[in-house]
Amino acid sequence: MTDRPPCLKNTCVRRTLNRYLDMLDKQPFEGRSKRLTDRIQPKHFPELFSPREPGEDDVTWHHLTQLEALGIVTFERTRTRGIGSDAPWEHTRIVIAPEGEPLMRDWLDRPVVEEESLRWQEAVGPFRYAFEVPELVRPANLGRLTQYKPAAVVERLTMIPEMLAASPLTLYQLSARLFWGDSKALKGKERLLDQLFSIQVTQMLSRPVLIEGTYRPGAEGILLVENMDTFLAASNGQIKSAEDLTILYAQGFKGTTSRIRTKGMARFYWSDSPFPEPQWLNHFHEAWLSTSKFPGPIYYFGDLDPAGLSIYRQMRTTFPELEPWKTGYEALVKALKGGHGHPLALAEKTNQGSLPETGCTWMEAHVIPVMRETGLCVDQEFFLN
């Protein structure tokens, strides 16, 4: 950034330059057939015509004239007769120089606004009061909502708090009601909605997480998995080392960990097994809501790749007591040492190139070093074979 001139500290100067950039955002120099001029009048220059303290008018004028010395503007008299006793700013217009625009934008940290962004800014204008941070309503944050007319989208966004206060809705229901039947228009926009409004939008919109379980009477612990094949194999008795564990499966553990232990945000369905005994089930539900300890250790098993490690790390923030299922991970580590894996840098694997810390001492000591040494990763399906 270019060094800012002292005159930029003056309130009138900053306000004036911002106003000129507002004009240029709406119509750039290239699209103008005439010069961009601004007549000095009380409306925009109150410091010159109604100074709040002695000398404010002269100080302000001094700072404004510095802009001419810097090549940003020039001053022209609109009258030449009978002005001998008038102040130098009276009967004067400012001509904004095209070559001064880059400096103005640099000083004020205002890059050129694209036409699409400008359309959204204009649409937000009448509704700015409805948003906590109206500047966030811009194309980069709106995804598929940008395919609709800005004014219509902005108006419907302002209706969200009222609609949620009237009746509980999921994100998809809310989206469909507001945006012409498009249930996915707000998909992935929970954080944006939280920032736009001062209510707990995310919690109100969230669907409960559906968790399927296979209960084992007298189980020695609980195993959480995010892979359907692993769940089915363990439930069907194909994984002998998991026969003494109750198995829980939920698709998308990674994206739901922040709310999965909140009351009402998890629903359990027990299948392919005896229904849990009432006493065990009550104890389990209390532990799930963090009001008591789980009836035995709780484990997690997932892929040995950066994405799988990230999931485990996130799960540990919600389940501090979560342990790695060593039986499964030791088998995968043995596979890696035997060369049974694929390169970490494979394009279809996400977040490759670095191995995230899991916060688990055992994983950091026995698993991640092998991944680094071999440069390989392996999915949990290998264990099923």
Asked whether the predicted pLDDT for residue 200 surpasses 70, the reply is no
Amino acid 351: pLDDT: 46
Q: What's the pLDDT at 349?
A: 45
Tokens standing for 342? 């694929």
pTM above 0.85, yes or no: no
**Residue 85: which pLDDT band, with cuts at 50, 70 and 90?**
low
State residue 22's pLDDT score. Answer: 85
Per-residue burial over 326-335, b = 16 or more CB atoms within 10 Å of its CB, e = otherwise: bbbbebbbeb
Q: Give the Cα separation of 157 and 137 in Å (integer).
A: 10
d(CA 4, CA 17): 13
Candidates 301, 253, 247; CA nearest to 276 is 247
Q: Which of the residue ranges 176-185, 330-339, 353-362 would you say has the lowest mean pLDDT?
A: 353-362
Which of the two residues, 52 and 167, has the higher pLDDT score?
A: 52
State the DSSP string of 154-174: HHHHTTHHHHHHHS---HHHH
Give the Cα separation of 354 and 7 in Å (integer): 48
pLDDT of 203 reads 55
pLDDT-derived band of residue 84, with 50, 70 and 90 as boundaries? low
Q: In what helix (H) or strand (E) does residue 209 lie, and over which residues does it extend?
A: strand 209-214
CA atoms of 315 and 36, how far apart (whole Å)? 58
Q: Is pLDDT at 352 greater than 50 in this prediction?
A: no
Range 167-184 average pLDDT: 89
Kind plus residue range of the DSSP H or E element containing 374: helix 368-374
348 pLDDT band, cuts 50/70/90, is very low
pLDDT of residue 225: 92
Please compute the mean of the pLDDT values over residues 45-71 and round it to a whole number. 94
Q: What is the mean pLDDT of residues 151-174?
A: 89
Mean pLDDT of all residues in the chain?
A: 87
Q: Do the beta carbons of residue 248 and residue 191 sit within 8 Å?
A: no
pLDDT at 273 over 80: no
* pLDDT at site 166: 84
Supply angle C-alpha 180, 181, 182, rounded to 5. Answer: 95
Q: Which domains does the chain have, with CATH numbers?
A: 6-108 (1.10.10), 115-205 (no CATH), 209-384 (3.40.1360)
Q: Mean pLDDT throughout 123-151? A: 90
Q: Mind listing the pLDDT tens digit for each residue in 204-228? A: 566 778 899 999 998 899 999 988 9
Could you write out the three-class secondary structure of 220-272? CEEEEECCHHHHHHHHCCCCHHHCCEEEEECCCHHHHCCCCCCCCCEEEEECC
C-alpha triplet 196, 199, 203: angle, nearest 5°: 105
Per-residue pLDDT band for 335 (boundaries 50, 70, 90) equals very high
- Residue 186 clears pLDDT 80, i.e. is over it: yes
Write out pLDDT tens, residues 162-172: 888 888 788 88
User: How many other C-beta atoms can be found within 10 angstroms of the C-beta atom of residue 310?
Assistant: 18
Looking at residues 183-189, what average pLDDT do you find? 88
The predicted structure's pLDDT at residue 115: 76
